[in-house]
Structure 1
Amino acid sequence: MQFIREPLIAVSIVWGLLARLRGSIRRRWEGADPNRSLKRHAVYVHFHPEGVVADFVAAQLREFSRLGFRITFVSNSPTIDDQLITILSPLCREIILRRNTGYDFGAYRDGIMSIPDLPSTQCLVLANDSVYGPLFPLDELLGRCDPEVFDVWGATDSEEIAYHLQSYFLVFYGRAIKSRAFWRFWFWFPNIDSRKFVIKCGEIGLTQRLVKAGLRVGAVYKCVDAEIRKARKISSVEALPRDPQIEAFLALIETRKPTMFNPTHFFWEELVIYERYPFLKRDLIRENYWKVPFGQPWHKVIVEHTSYDVAMIDKHITHQR
């Protein structure tokens, strides 16, 4: 296993592999599997401290089901109410409740390994509840993920730290699914409760491993197009009343290559308005760590440029307070 050569991380990996001996899956429910005749799978990862399945999550699952995906729903929540199982079951192939260990990548791994016909799968999507949407029909995004161009697609990519596809939405096609690199990565991925590890060795490590194995990877909304997004962002921000936060942001955005920024935070508004990008990161609304100013309020962007039911976002935000 060659995630990384740093000794401390190597020790953490060994510890994380030993932790897997305990087992992470707590309970399974068999779903109705409405698309059982198809060879398209989606692993959807969920977390809520009280086990709630929000309306926006249910809407995402319905969209995957509509498009013919067999859904493996994996929850890192402490519990799931049996009443929610009756909501999830008609949409899903299987529902898995697991210990919250290894973050989304640990959950992705357990979901992937639970798919019995994975080697014959034509398309596998990994997605999680870190985003609201789809703001536009999901088949628009999937229609741009051409298996003749790339074996693995992301909605977005980034060169921050190292080139990688962002893991909130990934699409794998047959050549990638059958590859030794894919299987080795997921089979050996450890349960390590470190966000830094999961980003470095999970999100970034996955892309780097697949590229090294000769697989073709790329994104629909490519970071190489970030220069025009940056220009649009600066133009919209400069039109706002000046304050110290605006000045600090403009100074920051001029100091780094635009490909180094997280596009889902820094250029979300531009992506939605000009490129029909279908997602809104939850942590952009909740925390906005980089204090990215919006030319327009996010609520207005969604209402004026998409047909998404913004009430689902409002309801979720209200319940989280």
Structure 2
Amino acid sequence: MGSRNVAKKFIGKLIATPLKYCARAVFHYPKVVSALLRRFSGKNSFITESIEGSRIFENGRFAIFLIWQPHSLPWYVQNALDAFAEAEINVIVVANHALNESMKAALSSQSRWILSRDNTGFDIGGFQDATHFVRENFEIDRLIYLNDSIYLFREGLTEMMQRLSTSKADICAAFENWEIFYHIQSFCFSMSRRVLDSSATIKFWKNYLPVNSRKWAIDAGEIGLSRAIIPGSNEIDLIYSPNDIKPHLKDLTSSELVAMNTSIPVALRFKKKEVKGSRRIEIQGEILNRISGRSQIHTGGFLYRKFLRCPILKRDLVYRLQYSIYDVEACLQELGHEGHIDEILSDMRRKGIGTQMGFLKRIQFSDGII
């Protein structure tokens, strides 16, 4: 049976590898070429509208909050705006789409500035345009980067924003990722004035090529930014870490630890026979090891919420095949959802599962292009 599984994996890889490179040739590299042509034509900014807001704090603490909400402002975006206000942080809202009049009115009263752009380069492209804008127009002591790829619950959110905006470390991040190359997860982090003004950071934002490919946005954008800012940083302040969960596990029984299996992604779950006869400390270590090696907001999001009341949860948990919709429902029912469970589950059902898209999109999905 083992040999059969090995053979199946080998054949699957044999088929997948050429498909992957074909997908890049058709769907990824042309987007890189298109971005290069835009750059050579002199197109460096993709801001289409700039609107001054009325919520001002004279303290040097700023946040770039990137959103993709073409129709209305959902509860988690409003939660973020409320938390920014409570933490007295100046918000630069970056909408990667045109805004209707009602959204302009709603956002202008809750932000220092609104920038609307055409979604070139996705989130990292928006961060790039907004970084140039804030550097040119404001005196920044600390700058937060946040996007709406996460659900933002109200409990603990203001405290998290305060930590991001007042940390003495050069970099403060909600989560880190050790997969492939160590990097700060770009959906929620902040940097000091020293890092913002460093030659490495300025060079990165000046040279970054905004490409409409998720693969590029992660490899050249998220990881590329970390490569630029981490080496010269004096300290990295991590808000959520596996070691913060560890004390909460020490008094749990073996059965309680095994029952937490459904709180980690399907692909990382251990079989009961794998931990049969293991001591509690060994099971604890196994759980922490399994959530620490990859994107921890995906691998340990529910555990961070359970034990540390982390106010953020990734919106693509089902789409990226981390959990089933029923796993998500059960975890939210156990851990609390602030009355938003129906909206969350509906959102995830509308998004669907990446492997159930059409053939061409499935190929792109499997290689991380979308």
- TM-score range (shorter-chain normalised) is 0.7 to 0.9
Give % identity.
Answer: 23
> Partners in 2 of 1:104 and 1:241 — Cα distance?
32
> Does structure 1 residue 64 correspond to structure 2 residue 84?
yes
Distance 1:248 1:281, change over 3 A: closer
Q: Describe the shift of the 1:19–1:67 C-alpha distance in structure 2 as closer, same or farther (beyond 3 A).
A: same
Change (3 A) 1:100 1:294: same
Residue in 2 that maps onto 1:289: 321
CA distance in 2 between partners of 1:183 and 1:235 (Å): 51
Residue aligning to 1:3: none
CA distance in 2, matches of 1:224, 1:241: 18
Gap change, CA 1:310 and 1:167, over 3 Å in 2: farther
- Tell me, what secondary structure is at the counterpart of 2:209? coil
Q: Is the 8 A contact 2:329 2:345 kept in 1?
A: no
SS at match of 1:290: coil
**What is the CA deviation profile of residues 267-288 of structure 1, one whole-angstrom value per residue up to 9, with x for unaligned ones?**
122111111212111112x425
Alignment counterpart, residue 269 of structure 2, candidates 244, 249, 260: 249
When residues 229 and 291 of structure 1 are mapped into structure 2, their CA distance, relative to the original with a 3 A threshold, is: farther
Which whole-Å deviations, capped at 9, do the CAs of 1:69-124 have from their partners, x for residues lacking one?
A: 111111113x3211111111101122111111111100011112111566731111
Q: 1:37 matched to which residue of 2?
A: 58
Letter in 2 for 1:163: Y
Which is worse superposed, 205-214 or 267-276?
205-214
Among candidates 294, 301, 306, match of residue 273 of structure 1: 306
Alpha-carbon shift at residue 42 of structure 1 (Å)? 0.7
Tell me if structure 1 keeps the 8 A contact 2:76–2:153: no
3-state DSSP of counterpart to 2:99: coil
The aligned residue for residue 263 of structure 1 is 296
Determine if the alignment matches structure 1 residue 81 to structure 2 residue 100.
Answer: yes
Task: State the TM-score, normalized to the length of structure 1.
Answer: 0.79
In structure 2, the CA distance between the partners of 1:287 and 1:237, relative to structure 1 (3 Å rule), is farther
Cα pair distance change 1:113/1:14, threshold 3 Å: farther
Question: Deviation string for 1:209-256 (max 9, x for gaps)?
Answer: 212234433421125667789998x966843899xx9697326988x7
Deviation of 1:44 (Å): 0.6
Aligned to 2:9: none
Give the SS at the match of 2:56.
Answer: coil
Count the aligned residue pairs: 300
Instruction: Supply the AA of the counterpart residue of 2:339.
Output: V
Residue type matched to 2:89 in 1?
F
Larger Rg: 2
C-alpha contact 2:177 2:293 (8 A) present in aligned 1: yes
Task: Report the AA paired with residue 132 of structure 1.
Answer: Y
Q: Is the 8 A contact 1:154 1:219 kept in 2?
A: yes
1:35 and 1:65 in contact (8 A); partners too: no
Paired letter, 1:28: S
Residue in 1 aligned with 2:358? none
2:11 aligns with none
Asked if 1:178 corresponds to 2:171, the answer is no
* C-alpha separation in 2, matches of 1:153 and 1:168: 12
Q: 2:117 aligns with which of 95, 98, 109?
A: 98
Structure 1 alignment gaps of length 5 or more: 1-7
Aligned to 1:222: 241
CA distance in 2, matches of 1:221, 1:240: 18
> Do 2:60 and 2:139's aligned partners in 1 also have CA atoms closer than 8 Å?
yes
Equivalents in 1 of 2:52, 2:138: separation in Å?
21
Whether contact under 8 Å (1:19, 1:191) holds in the other structure is no
> SS at 1:239's partner residue?
helix
Report SS of the residue matched to 1:171.
Answer: strand
Does the aligned pair in 2 maintain the 1:158–1:223 contact within 8 Å? Answer: no
The residue type equivalent to 2:92 in the other structure is T
Instruction: Tell me if 1:213 matches 2:210.
Output: no
Q: Is the 8 A contact 2:176 2:184 kept in 1?
A: yes
**SS of equivalent residue, structure 1 residue 88:** helix
> Which residue in 1 is equivalent to 2:176?
157
- Structure 1 residue corresponding to 2:338, chosen from 305, 309, 312: 309
The residue type paired with residue 277 of structure 1 is C
How far did 1:139 drift?
A: 3.5
